[in-house]
A and B are shown apart, each in its own frame.
Chain A
Amino acid sequence: MKLLVNFSRGRGRKPIIAQVVRDTGVLINVERAVIDSSEGEALIDVPDDQCRLVRDSMTRLGAEVRILEHGVNLNESECVDCGACISVCPREVFSLDTDWKLKLAEEKCILCGKCIDACPHRALTLPL
Chain B
Amino acid sequence: MHKSIDLINERIRGGSARVVTAEEMPAIVAELGEEGALKEVDVVTTGTFGAMCSSGAFLNFGHAEPPIRMERIWLNNVEAYGGLAAVDTYVGATQQSDTLEAEYGGAHVIEDLVAGKAVELRASSRGTDCYPRRTITTDLLLENLNQAIMCNPRNAYQRYNAATNTTDRVLNTYMGTLLPGCTNITFSGAGVLNPISNDPKLRLIGSGVPIFLCGAPGMVVGEGTQHSPAGGFGTLMVTGDLKQMSRDYLRAATMSGYGVTLYVGLGVPLPVLDLDVVRATAVRDEDITVDILDYGVPSRSRPSMRKVTYAELRSGIVELNGEAVRTSSLSSFRRARGVAQELKVWVERGKIQLALPTRAIDPQKMARPMHQTAKGPRVLDIMDRSVITIGENEEIQTAAKKLLKGETNHLPVVNDKGVLVGIVTTFDISKAVANPGKANHVRDIMKKKVVTTTADESVDIAVQKLEQHNISALPVVDQQQHVIALLTAMNLSKILGGRWLK
Contacts and interface: CB of A to CB of B under 8 A. Distances in A.
Given A87-B185, A88-B179, A117-B177, A80 B251 contact: yes
B256 A121 contact: no
Contacts of B256: 117-118
A78 B331 CA distance: 14
Given A118-B177, A120-B261, A82 B254 contact: no
- Chain A interface size, as a band, is 20 to 34
A80 B49 contact: yes
Nearest to A122: B254
Given A86-B316, A87-B326, A117-B177, A81 B334 contact: yes
B51 interface: yes
A52 B26 CA distance: 56
B263 A80 contact: yes
Contact of B335 (A80, A84, A85, A120): A80
Contacts of A36: none
A84 B254 contact: no
Contacts, number: 76
B328 A83 contact: yes
Nearest to A117: B256
- Chain B interface size, as a band, is 20 to 34
Contacts of B179: 87-88
A18 B256 CA distance: 39
A101 interface: yes
A99 interface: yes
Contacts of B51: 120
Nearest to B188: A82
A120 B332 contact: no
B328 A84 contact: yes
B184 interface: yes
Contacts of B334: 80-81, 96, 99-101
Interface of A: 78, 80-88, 95-96, 99-101, 114, 117-118, 120-122
16 contacts: A80-B251, A82-B50, A82-B329, A82-B330, A83-B328, A85-B328, A86-B327, A87-B179, A88-B328, A96-B333, A99-B334, A100-B332, A118-B176, A120-B261, A120-B263, A120-B330
Interface of B: 49-51, 103, 176-177, 179, 184-186, 251, 253-257, 261, 263, 316, 325-335, 337
Given A88-B184, A120-B330, 16 more contacts: A80-B334, A81-B333, A82-B330, A83-B329, A85-B328, A86-B328, A86-B329, A87-B185, A96-B333, A96-B334, A99-B334, A100-B332, A114-B177, A120-B51, A120-B253, A122-B254
